[in-house]
Every structure is written in C-alpha cells, then in structure tokens.
Amino acid sequence: MRVLVVTAVAAERDAVCAAGGPYTPRALPGGLALHRGGADTGPAVDVLAAGVGPAAAAAGTATALTAAALDGAPYSLVISAGIGGGFAPAAPLGCVVVADALTAADLGAETPEGFLPVTELGFGTVTHRPDPALVRAVATACGARTGPVLTVSTVTGSAARAAELTARHPGALAEAMEGFGVAEAAVAHGAGVLEIRTVSNAVGPRDRAAWRIGPALTALTGAFVALPAALRAL
C-alpha cells in the first residue's frame, strides 16, 4: 500500500515525518519537494507540503499523484493532514479529528434567500466521504473524534462567522483550508481519501495568544505514529 500525506506547510510536514522515516527528498514539477518514505514494516508513506488553501492543495496533490502513476507505482490512499480550528465544545484544543466528510464550506453562491452550495446550482459536489471502515479504524487507533471537517478559503475570525458555519453544517468538528482540494485530486485519480486534523485553536474570534500550535503539531506526530497499525489492520 502506498500512501500520500499532503500538508499545507513545512511545519506540518515535519510533524508527520517525525512519526516515521527515514525520508528521501524527491523533486516534483513546480518546485515541490516530496519526502519519500520506505515500507519495511508497513505501508509506504510519502509526505508533501503542497501550500496553503484548496487550490494549492489540489494542484500539489494532483502533481504527486500523476508523478506516481507515471512511475508505475500509484497511491491507493491520500491523506490531508495538519492543524486546524476546532468548533467548541465538540473539538477542544489538542484533540485529534478524523473527518467522516470533507466539505467545501463556502463553495456556492449567496442569494437573497441565503447560501446555495454548488450542488444545488447543478455543479459538481461539495462533500467527499471517506470509507467509513477506514475512518473508524484510524479514529480508534489515534484516539480521535469523527465528524465533518470544513474546508474554507478564509479562516474564521468572528463569532458571527463561526455561528453561520455551524448552522449551515451541523455537527462540523473542525475547519482547515486544504481537505476538499486534496480530496478532489484524489478522487479524480481513483484513490481513497482521508483527513486528519489536530486542533490548535478554537473557531471564532481571532486570538493568536490563545493558539496552541506546538501541542497541536505534537498531537499530529502522535496520530501518525498510530496510523500504520490501523492501515495494516484493514
């Protein structure tokens, strides 16, 4: 089994890589650097920092997937991973979230009657759902909570916006900026998809003093230490 893990930034990539290794850098088109892992005792895991936001995530993921396919060694699973905001009280600081739905929270149109997702406009989809058995296995191994993770292009910075998102997407546990973009590329290549987030801040008013990025990155490493056993079990 070959697994591609896609993060936004190098700090998240390094937190994932700290769970295993060693990794060998490999240059990809567009200036991307893939960290390629081995597979001595489990699935082969490669890690890529593709950039911030759904467009960069989709483009970087598609590049890595295409390169692997051309090499004759395609990935069977793609994981969007990193830190993100948690919707209190369901997803407190430091917890791990495994998405049972990767949803583009703001892909659609504003109308006088309210927001319409692109699905209601007749275009594409706004949600990708991972294999439920995979979600359960990984969540159990990582001690994670499961629920929808929202992909946004603008990080929430107010209580009003947080309330709007929770009203539109009941049960959402976290928000981040890349999951849906990663999923779009993975699905186009016929690969499975998953999203793992660790919570560094509460979704709501922007308060950088309250962020806990270091502990969230440590929790991300811990989640990926536990991941191989869950994948082997499947």
- Give the pLDDT confidence of 3-16 residue by residue, as tens digits: 999 999 999 999 99
In total, the chain counts a number of residues equal to 234
Q: pTM of the predicted model, to two decimals? A: 0.95
pLDDT at residue 139, rounded to an integer: 97
Q: Above pLDDT 90, what percent of the chain?
A: 89
Confidence band of 212 (pLDDT split at 50, 70, 90): very high
User: CA 30: distance to chain centroid?
Assistant: 21
The pLDDT value recorded for residue 105 is 96
pLDDT value at 41 more than 90: no
Q: Tell me: the pLDDT tens digits for 107-163? A: 999 999 889 999 988 898 999 999 999 999 999 999 999 999 999 999 999 999 999
Q: How high is the pLDDT of residue 120?
A: 87
The three-state secondary structure class of 120 is helix
**One-letter amino acid of 154:** T
What CA–CA distance (Å, rounded) separates 173 from 70?
A: 37
Eight-state DSSP code of residue 26? E
pLDDT of residue 8: 98
Alpha helices, H only, the chain: 10-17, 54-70, 118-121, 132-142, 159-168, 179-188, 213-233
Which of the four pLDDT bands, split at 50, 70 and 90, describes residue 100?
very high
The predicted structure's pLDDT at residue 7: 98
User: By the 8 A CB rule, do 224 and 132 touch?
Assistant: no
CB 29 within 8 A of CB 66: no
| pLDDT above 90 (res 200) | yes
Which residue in the block uniquely carries the two structure tokens 């209190």? 88
- Using the predicted structure, report yes or no on whether residue 21 has a pLDDT greater than 90: no
In this predicted structure, the answer to whether residue 64 has a pLDDT above a threshold of 90 is yes
Question: What pLDDT sits at residue 39?
Answer: 66
State the burial class of residue 1 (Cβ atoms within 10 Å of its Cβ: 0-12, 13-18, 19+).
middle
CA atoms of 202 and 42, how far apart (whole Å): 34
Local structure of residue 189 (DSSP, 8 states): T
